[in-house]
């Protein structure tokens, strides 16, 4: 069998940046408008936290590149149960979060076809995107990477265009007039903003998770991770700041296409149309990369016997087709459950909040595992410095949980406890014990017959 084509450093960089920018920024200005311009402080803090996470995953990718990302590190350093828990949480977070991507894409396409704002029509359009990109994944990772490299270029047009040229239309009074409209204290508002903006950086581990399909992962995973986060961070802060100074807060809160709204206010309808088209292509294309990431994470755990075996079955191109199909079905169910939301931005908020909280626990495990990886290969001085960095990263992740919706955190905690009951079905110790019991029973039965 010919070796499957792998992703180079440029493709992996665009995979990281595209997974973040394609899904993380296009509807967030509307979500953050409910907090106000104080959310810019949340962006700055989250960027610092994301760079710390990027450094953690870059270090892991260089010293111990493993397919499966957070799952693989939790498994190796904390044992099979933590590996099982991490993968299950991470897998659920991914396919739930994936639903937000086509919602954002369709929200922008409603600029051309307002009927897409209707819940039923929006639901159908979102499902078409989900299944189209799922089938694209069955062609192979190299194809998905090529598609995402192109679509990320389209995504950069509205993000960088607004970030650079929007300042000519920036109104300081609009920006200052909505500093904190959340009804919370400034600290509470900034904490909430930090939790929301973290969604924009979910995907920082993309190159690490897909290390199995990246060329020369010891070097390229680290390079792609840091470059992807740096590219996204600059675009995020600049574009969000300028939009909040171009669009009145009341309009921004209810918009399903905030970048297009800003462009239309600046240069007219043609600008809004161009931005909407580019945002649609960028968001839709990023869905392919996220489906790839979700399937690879499940496959890595399934290969170890810590997830149903169906997820490890691949076709001739080493694509876990059945795993992709299962993800598509679950995403379809999530779309249907949340389709009653009145606007795309409201549906987006519910999905992203749940995905962020679930993703943070695997991130914390990865930080702690990274300390052990560094301790094994570095001097005491380097290990101490890295312990400080990983500790700061863990504190940031805990703070992001603090800033999240209390109800969502409560349900996430209950979910973590609930999945414990499924671990015995994937425990190697349990399988060995059952095998020994069967062998003992067979020996006993043979002795009785004789």
In the chain, domain spans: 9-444
Q: CA-CA distances (angstroms) from residue 189 to 49, 66, 194, 402?
A: 17, 38, 9, 12
Tell me what the pLDDT averaged over the chain comes to: 80
DSSP state of 7: B
Region 373-402 average pLDDT: 78
Contact status, residue 108 vs residue 284, Cβ threshold 8 Å: no
For 350-380, the pLDDT digits (tens) are: 787 888 888 888 888 888 888 777 777 665 5
Q: CA-CA distances (angstroms) from residue 66 to 305, 346, 429?
A: 16, 37, 23
Torsion on CA atoms 168, 169, 173, 179, rounded to nearest 10: -90
Class of domain 9-444: mainly alpha
DSSP state of 214: B
Q: CA-CA distances (angstroms) from residue 429 to 41, 75, 76, 306, 308?
A: 48, 15, 16, 12, 16
Contact status, residue 54 vs residue 203, Cβ threshold 8 Å: no
Q: How much is the pLDDT for 242?
A: 92
Residue 2's pLDDT band (boundaries 50, 70, 90)? very low
Contact status, residue 155 vs residue 286, Cβ threshold 8 Å: yes
Q: How much is the pLDDT for 88?
A: 86
The pTM (predicted TM-score) of the whole model is 0.75
């Amino acid at each position: 069998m010919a070796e499957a084509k792998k992703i180079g450093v440029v493709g992996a960089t665009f995979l990281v940046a595209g997974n973040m920018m394609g899904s993380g920024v296009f509807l967030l200005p509307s979500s953050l408008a409910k907090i106000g311009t104080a959310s810019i402080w949340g962006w700055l803090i989250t960027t610092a936290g994301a760079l710390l996470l990027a450094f953690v995953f870059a270090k892991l990718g260089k010293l111990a590149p493993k397919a499966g990302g957070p799952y693989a590190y939790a498994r190796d350093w904390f044992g099979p149960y933590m590996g099982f828990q991490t993968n299950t949480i991470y897998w659920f977070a991914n396919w739930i979060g994936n639903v937000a991507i086509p919602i954002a894409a369709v929200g922008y396409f409603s600029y051309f076809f307002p009927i897409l704002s209707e819940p039923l029509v929006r639901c159908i359009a979102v499902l078409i995107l989900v299944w189209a990109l799922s089938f694209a994944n069955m062609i192979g990772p190299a194809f998905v990477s090529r598609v995402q490299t192109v679509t990320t270029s389209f995504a950069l047009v509205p993000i960088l265009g607004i970030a650079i040229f929007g300042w000519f239309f920036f109104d300081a009074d609009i920006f200052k007039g909505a500093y904190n409209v959340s009804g919370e204290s400034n600290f509470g508002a900034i904490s909430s903003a930090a939790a929301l903006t973290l969604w924009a950086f979910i995907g920082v581990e993309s190159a690490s998770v897909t290390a199995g399909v990246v060329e020369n992962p010891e070097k390229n995973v680290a390079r792609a991770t840091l470059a992807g986060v740096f590219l996204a961070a600059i675009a995020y802060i600049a574009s969000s700041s300028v939009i909040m100074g171009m669009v009145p807060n009341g309009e921004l809160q209810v918009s399903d296409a905030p970048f297009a709204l800003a462009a239309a206010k600046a240069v007219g309808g043609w600008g809004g149309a161009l931005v909407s088209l580019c945002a649609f292509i960028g968001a839709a294309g990023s869905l392919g990369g996220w489906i790839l990431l979700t399937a690879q994470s499940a496959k890595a755990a399934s290969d170890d016997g810590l997830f149903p075996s169906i997820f490890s079955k691949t076709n001739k191109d080493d694509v876990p087709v059945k795993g992709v199909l299962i993800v598509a079905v679950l995403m379809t169910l999530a779309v249907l459950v949340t389709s009653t939301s009145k606007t795309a931005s409201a549906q987006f908020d519910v999905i992203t909040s749940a995905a962020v909280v679930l993703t943070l626990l695997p991130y914390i495990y990865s930080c702690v595992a990274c300390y052990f990886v560094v301790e094994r290969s570095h001097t005491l001085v380097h290990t101490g410095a890295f312990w400080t960095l990983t500790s700061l990263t863990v504190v940031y992740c805990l703070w992001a949980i603090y800033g999240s919706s209390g109800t969502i955190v409560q349900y996430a905690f209950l979910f973590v406890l609930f999945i414990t009951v499924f671990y015995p079905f994937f425990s190697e110790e349990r399988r060995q014990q059952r095998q020994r019991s069967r062998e003992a029973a067979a020996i006993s039965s043979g002795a009785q017959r004789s």
